[in-house]
Amino acid sequence: MSARSRKFLRLGLAGTALAGLPLLVSGAFAATAQITRPINDQVTLPLTADVSTAVKSARDLGTVSDAMMLPHIRLELRRPAALQQQLDALVKAQWTRGSAAYHHWLTPADLVKYAPAASDVAKITSWLTAHGLTVNGVSRDGMMIDFGGTAGAVARAFHTSLHQVSFNGATHIANMSAALIPAAIAPAVVGMTLHNFFPTPMLAKITPGYTSNGAGGTFYAVAPPDFNTIYNVNPLLNGSTQYGPITGKGITIAVVEQTKILNHDWNTFRNTFGLSGYAGTFTQIHPGGCADPGYTGDEAEAAIDAEWASAPAPDANIIEASCATNAPLYFGVEQSLENLVTYGTPAQIFSISYGGAEIFSGYAFIQGWTNLVEEGAAEGKSIFISAGDSGSAADRNFIGTDGLGVNGLSDSQYVTSIGGTDFEDTYLNQTARYWHAHNGPTGQSAVSYIPETPWNNSCASSLIWKYTGFASASAACNATTNPPPQQDGVGGTGGQSIYATKPSWQLTTIPGMPNDNARDQPDVSLFAANGIWGHFYLICMSDPNEGGSPCHYKNQNDLFGNAYGGTSVSAPAFAGITALLTQFEQQYGGVTGGLGNVAPGLYQIANAQFSNPTGLKPCDSINGKNIGTACAFNIITSGSNVQPCVAGSTNCSAVSGAAIGQLVQPMVGPGPAFHANQGYSLATGLGTVNATNLVFNFSNLN
C-alpha cells in the first residue's frame, strides 16, 4: 500500500470515528430561557446598528403610507451564549483534521436542537400579535420570526419612522431612526431589517476600454476551454494525471438565486463550448416550497452562476435554487439559502453571487446571514460568495463617498470569499504571447497561464493612469479631458470587515496577512474583468424580456450582448473547481459527503507555499507562461484595487486643492487601499489558482 493510500485510509477512518464527541448534538443541550422578566413596553432598548448607513447619503422622499403592507419582516433571534459556543466549537472541529468531529456533519434536524428556547419564541410572537402584527411563522431552525403588518403598525410597535429614500438612482424603504424593542426580550433578539438595501448581483456588463488595438479593437474573451487552460484544470478533466479523469462526477452544486433562467440557455452554453459530452445535469427548484420567482432582471446573474459552475466541472449536477422576492422587505436569495439549509439538499457546494456593503446591510441582516452560512457549514456545505465589484470602496458609485467597504455576505468565517483579477497581457503588450489569433472549435484561444493584476477599471489604477499618459492617480482622476480616464470605477472588492473578527485560519504567518483582528477579504481570486483591457467572460442569456441576446457568438452584437465580468463569475467558477476537489477527496481520500468550509485548507496550503522562497518568486503571476509548475497559488504582485473618492469623504486622501482623491487604508498602514503584494493582499487574497496543483495539495494536508 502506497503512502498516499495509507494516508487516505487513515483520514477515512477518522471521519467516521464517533466515540468521544462531546460537541455533537445528543439532545443534552437544552436551550435556557433568556427572557426572564415581564415584557414592559415602557422600558426599551434601541436597535441602533440596524439603521442602514446608506440613509446618510440618501435623499429623503418622505414617510411611506401607513396603509402600505409589509407582509414579511425578519426578526433575527439569538441562541443562548452557551449553545452558540457549542455550535461554534463544533463547526471548528468539523474542519480540523484529526478532530473526532472532523467531517461529521449535522442534518437540518440536528440544527433544531441548537434553537433558542421555545418559551422565548412564544413570548416574542405573543408580543408581536398584541401590537397588531401578524406572525407568519418561525424558521425551521428556530432562529427567525417572520412577521408583517401595515407600515403604520410596524412604526408604532417599534417607535420608528419608515421613509422612502433615493440612493444611487434607486428608491428604497428604510427606517430613519433606530427601532425600539422591550428590554425584556433583548437578550433573545439580534435585531431586524426594516429597510431594503439588499445585496444585488455582482455582475458587470462589458465595458470596452484599453485594448491591444485601442478602444473598440481586438477582444480576447474567456470561454470555458480558455479558463480551463489558464487555470490548469485540463489535466484533471482529461485524466492525464495518474488518477484518471476528475470531472465533478457525482457532485452537486446549488447556485442560490431569486429568478429562474431558460433551460435551453444552459444547454446552448454547454453545446457551444464543448461541455455537452459530459453527463452533468441542470435542475431548477424552489426550495422548501417557496414562491416561484419567474423570470426577473437578475436572470443574467443566474445564467452566469449555473453555466460557469459547470464550466470547470462539466460532470457536476447543477441545481438552480430560487425563491421569489415578493415583498418590500424581503430578499429572495436569503430565503433560498435558508430553505436549502433548513429543509436539506443533496448539493455539497453552494455558490452565491450577490453582494452589498456590510455598512448598508445593518447588523441584524449580517448576523442572520452569518447564522445561515454557519449552519450550512455545519451540514458540510462548501459555500463560495462573490467578494464584490466595488474595488476597495463601499459601493459602486462612479466616484465614491462612503469610504472603504466589503461585501457583508462574504465576510463570515464560514464561507470562502472569491475576489477578481484582470489579465495584464494587454498592458504589457504581450497579447500575441498568450492568445492565438483564431479560436478553436469550442472557442479556445488562450495559450497558457496569463499574468494577472487586480481587476480595477478606475482612474486610480496605476495600470490605467500610466497607460493613458498621466503622472499619477491624482492627475488622472482630476483630469478635464473628455472623456476622463475614469471608466466605470469598479473592480474586485477587498478589505476588512467591521463586524466579523479574524478567523483562526487566516494565518498571520502568511506574508502580507494583516494582523488586524478583522475578517479580511477576499480569500482567493479568479479572473473577473469586464473588458477594460479586452478580456471578459462569455455566457448565454437569450431572454429578450430581461435584456438578453441570442447566443450567436459569431455575430458581434450578440457576442457583446453575452459578454460579462464580475466576481459573479469567479465565485461559481471556483465552486466548479471545488467540485473537482470534492470528487477527488471522495474517490481517493475516504471522504463521504461534502468538504464543508474549504477556506482553512486553502490558507494551510498557502502558508506552506509562501513560507518557502521557491513558492514565492517562481509563483509570481508576472512570470506568465513561465510560472512555476508546482504552484498551487499564482501570487498577484502588480496593481491595486484602490478606488477614487470625493475629497473630504470617509477614508479619502486627496492632494491639496484636488476634488478627487484615493481611498487609503487606516487599519493597515499609510498608502492607497489596496495594493497587490508578494503573499496575501487585500486586493486579491492568496492569489489565483493552479487547479490541478490545488487539488493535490489539498489532499496532502496533514
Is 162 in contact with 63 (CB distance < 8 Å)? yes
Is 214 a residue whose pLDDT tops 60?
Answer: no
Average pLDDT over residues 49-65: 94
Task: Please name the residue that has the C-alpha cell 482567493.
Answer: 524
Is 6 a residue whose pLDDT tops 70?
Answer: no
Rounded (10°) CA dihedral 488, 494, 497, 502: 170
Name the 3-class secondary structure at 85: helix
In sequence order, the β-bridge partners of residue 527 are: 421
**Which tens digit of pLDDT belongs to each residue from 463-515?**
999 998 999 999 999 998 776 667 667 999 999 999 999 999 999 999 999 99
- What span, in angstroms and rounded, lies between the C-alpha atoms of 86 and 75? 23
Separation in Å, CA 395 to CA 107, 462, 648: 37, 21, 17
The predicted pLDDT at position 666 comes to: 75
- Which phi and psi angles does 151 have, rounded to 5°? -60, -35
Is 9 a residue whose pLDDT tops 60?
Answer: no
Instruction: With both helix axes pointing from N to C terminus, report the angle between 567-588 and 299-310 in degrees, rounded to the nearest 10.
Output: 30
Is 617 in contact with 282 (CB distance < 8 Å)? no
Residues of the chain within CATH 3.40.50.200 domain(s) are 201-699
Look at the chain and count its residues.
702
Name the 3-class secondary structure at 71: strand
Is 359 in contact with 559 (CB distance < 8 Å)? no
Is 210 a residue whose pLDDT tops 70?
Answer: no
Q: What does pLDDT average to over the chain?
A: 92
- pLDDT tier for residue 12 given thresholds of 50, 70 and 90: very low
Sign of the torsion angle spanned by Cα atoms 251, 253, 254, 260 = negative
Sign of the torsion angle spanned by Cα atoms 529, 533, 535, 536 = positive
- All three cell numbers of 549: 441576446
The predicted pLDDT at position 82 comes to: 94
Average pLDDT over residues 567-595: 96
- Residue 341 Cα to chain centre, angstroms: 17
The predicted pLDDT at position 669 comes to: 58
- What span, in angstroms and rounded, lies between the C-alpha atoms of 531 and 422? 9
Name the 3-class secondary structure at 14: helix
- Which phi and psi angles does 47 have, rounded to 5°? -95, 70
- What span, in angstroms and rounded, lies between the C-alpha atoms of 662 and 655? 9
The predicted pLDDT at position 213 comes to: 37
Is 626 in contact with 645 (CB distance < 8 Å)? no
- pLDDT tier for residue 208 given thresholds of 50, 70 and 90: low
Sign of the torsion angle spanned by Cα atoms 397, 398, 402, 408 = positive
Is 351 in contact with 316 (CB distance < 8 Å)? no
| Confidence (pTM) | 0.94
- What span, in angstroms and rounded, lies between the C-alpha atoms of 255 and 677? 32
In single-letter form, the type of residue at position 234 comes to: N
- What span, in angstroms and rounded, lies between the C-alpha atoms of 529 and 417? 17
Between 279-293, 387-401, 572-586, 614-628, the lowest mean confidence (pLDDT) is in 387-401
In single-letter form, the type of residue at position 472 comes to: S
Angle at 332 between CA 328 and CA 334, to 5 degrees: 115
- What span, in angstroms and rounded, lies between the C-alpha atoms of 485 and 460? 9
- What span, in angstroms and rounded, lies between the C-alpha atoms of 418 and 14? 30
Name the 3-class secondary structure at 287: helix
Under CATH, which number does the domain 201-699 receive? 3.40.50.200
**Which tens digit of pLDDT belongs to each residue from 519-537?**
999 999 999 999 999 999 9
The predicted pLDDT at position 207 comes to: 73
The predicted pLDDT at position 667 comes to: 59
- pLDDT tier for residue 326 given thresholds of 50, 70 and 90: confident
- All three cell numbers of 114: 441548537
Contacts of 137 (CB under 8 A, 6+ apart): 145, 146
Is 646 in contact with 663 (CB distance < 8 Å)? no
Separation in Å, CA 67 to CA 39, 71, 149, 155, 162: 27, 12, 9, 11, 12
- What span, in angstroms and rounded, lies between the C-alpha atoms of 578 and 694? 10
- Of residues 528, 563, 566, the one with CA closest to residue 202: 566
Pairing label, strands 349-352, 317-322? unpaired
Is 185 in contact with 60 (CB distance < 8 Å)? no
Is 1 a residue whose pLDDT tops 60?
Answer: no
The predicted pLDDT at position 57 comes to: 86
The predicted pLDDT at position 217 comes to: 66
Name the 3-class secondary structure at 267: helix
The predicted pLDDT at position 30 comes to: 75
- Of residues 87, 667, 144, 33, the one with CA closest to residue 367: 144
- What span, in angstroms and rounded, lies between the C-alpha atoms of 26 and 17? 16
**Which tens digit of pLDDT belongs to each residue from 268-307?**
999 999 999 999 999 999 999 999 999 999 999 999 999 9
Is 226 a residue whose pLDDT tops 80?
Answer: yes
133-136 contacts: CB < 8 A, separation 24 or more?
A: 133/157, 134/71, 136/71, 136/72
- What span, in angstroms and rounded, lies between the C-alpha atoms of 73 and 193? 7
- What span, in angstroms and rounded, lies between the C-alpha atoms of 383 and 411? 12
Is 28 a residue whose pLDDT tops 60?
Answer: no
The predicted pLDDT at position 556 comes to: 87
- pLDDT tier for residue 29 given thresholds of 50, 70 and 90: low
- More confident call, 86 vs 13: 86
Task: Please name the residue that has the C-alpha cell 450582448.
Answer: 561
In the chain, what percentage of residues exceed pLDDT 70? Answer: 93
- What span, in angstroms and rounded, lies between the C-alpha atoms of 397 and 402? 9
- What span, in angstroms and rounded, lies between the C-alpha atoms of 290 and 323? 6
Is 404 in contact with 645 (CB distance < 8 Å)? no
Separation in Å, CA 218 to CA 230, 362, 426, 531: 19, 44, 10, 11
The predicted pLDDT at position 569 comes to: 98
- What span, in angstroms and rounded, lies between the C-alpha atoms of 146 and 134? 9
Average pLDDT over residues 303-323: 98
Pairing label, strands 452-454, 416-423? antiparallel
188 burial (CB, 10 Å; 0-12 / 13-18 / 19+) is buried
**Which tens digit of pLDDT belongs to each residue from 658-677?**
999 999 987 555 678 999 99
